[in-house]
Amino acid sequence: MVRLPTVVASTVVRSAHQGESHGGVYLVDLESGKFEQVVDYDDPSISWEGRGGPRGLRGIAFYEDEVYLAASDEVFVYSKDLRLVRSIKNEHLSVCHETYLAGDTLYVTSTGRDSVLEYDLRARTFVRGYHVWFGGPKRYYNALGYRGKLNAAPIPRMRIFDPNSDQDLPAWSNTCHLNSVWHKDGLLFISGTRCAHLLQISGSKISSHARINYGTHNARPFDDGVLLNDTREDRIRYLSREGDGTISLPVEHYDERKLLNAGLPKDHARQGFGRGLCDLGGGLLAGGSSPATVSVYDLNTSSVVKRVNLTMDVRNAVHGLEIWPF
């Protein structure tokens, strides 16, 4: 087997209090199992109300010699030696989750506003926004399906807007819970926990690229199907575009007696929360989970070949996961 790479993992600490660390960034050598925390997100100005919201660091992208880390309502920009250089802000950024880099363009999910923003890294400006939401009867039927009461899978509405204008900006909403974005062959792919489709945007049109189940993260086109974290079912899955199961791999679960803070409500923190997915090549994947663990999966053999545990604190969950390029 080829030597496993070093990956960078961002984490969110759920149920953290003001003044405590809300997450951080780790460099994880998957071959040796050694890791180092290189960023601690413990800014005392972070809002500490509620469950997730502005806590922690999520999407990760690399552009030239810089590292981009999504953090709620802004994107932090670090040098490759992880010194904070600046941050990217826009009033439309709200509860950011995943990011994706395509050429000179950074796509950022604005989960709290049912949107994806497009940022020109050369010009250092936002150039376009995609507002994707369920409204009217579709919102009602989609909610029923998400709660398991009806096999409803509507397609949300979509409109393109100018994120630099004060006019007609989408209000705060979270009907899709958009958490992943991908770009391939000129098409934009997005999905969220409240979407039963991997959605495809071509120009001003939105359609279904593939059927997926509710409650997923990190969905993206992969070979002839879709790869995703089935977070509700604690599994990583590779599905056909019709939603049929082909490969299903379990997320790690530990002995409850060994966990820290295991008594918290499940909607605040639980083990087995699968989030973060990275293609290592050759059929190998890295996946994240809670308590903060990075696992290496082999799609060729449907097996787990490596696990690196960063902490046994069940509140600490991996969110972003990428190969470290520097």
Each residue of 106-120: pLDDT tens digit?
Answer: 999 999 999 999 999
Q: Which two tokens stand for residue 311?
A: 């902490």
Query: Is residue 97 helix, strand or coil?
Result: strand
- The two counts, helices (H) then strands (E), for the chain are 1, 25
Topology of domain 6-323, CATH:
Neuraminidase (2.120.10)
54 burial (CB, 10 Å; 0-12 / 13-18 / 19+) is buried
Q: How does residue 217 score in pLDDT terms, banded at 50, 70 and 90?
A: very high
Query: Nearest to residue 285, comparing CAs of 190, 214, 220?
Result: 220
H or E element in which residue 141 lies: helix 137-146
> Structural domain boundaries of the chain?
6-323
Query: Nearest to residue 273, comparing CAs of 217, 326, 323, 223?
Result: 217
For residues 228-236, give the mean pLDDT. 95
The reported pLDDT for the residue numbered 72 is 82
Q: Does residue 152 or residue 58 have the better pLDDT?
A: 58
Q: How does residue 51 score in pLDDT terms, banded at 50, 70 and 90?
A: very low
The reported pLDDT for the residue numbered 276 is 96
Tally the C-alpha atoms within 13 A of residue 310's C-alpha that lie toward its C-beta.
Answer: 32
Phi, psi dihedrals of residue 167, rounded to the nearest 5°: -95, 135
Phi, psi dihedrals of residue 245, rounded to the nearest 5°: -75, 135
The reported pLDDT for the residue numbered 56 is 65
Q: How does residue 48 score in pLDDT terms, banded at 50, 70 and 90?
A: very low
Each residue of 303-318: pLDDT tens digit?
Answer: 999 999 999 999 899 9
- Answer yes or no: are the C-beta atoms of 250 and 274 closer than 8 Å: no
The reported pLDDT for the residue numbered 266 is 65
Query: Whole-angstrom Cα distance, residue 66 to residue 77?
Result: 7
Could you say which DSSP state residue 58 is in?
-
Q: How does residue 43 score in pLDDT terms, banded at 50, 70 and 90?
A: low
Each residue of 1-14: pLDDT tens digit?
Answer: 679 999 999 998 87
Q: Is 81 a residue whose pLDDT tops 50?
A: yes
For residues 252-262, give the mean pLDDT. 91
The reported pLDDT for the residue numbered 180 is 96
Mean pLDDT of the chain: 90
The reported pLDDT for the residue numbered 12 is 86
Query: Whole-angstrom Cα distance, residue 173 to residue 181?
Result: 18
For residues 66-78, give the mean pLDDT. 93
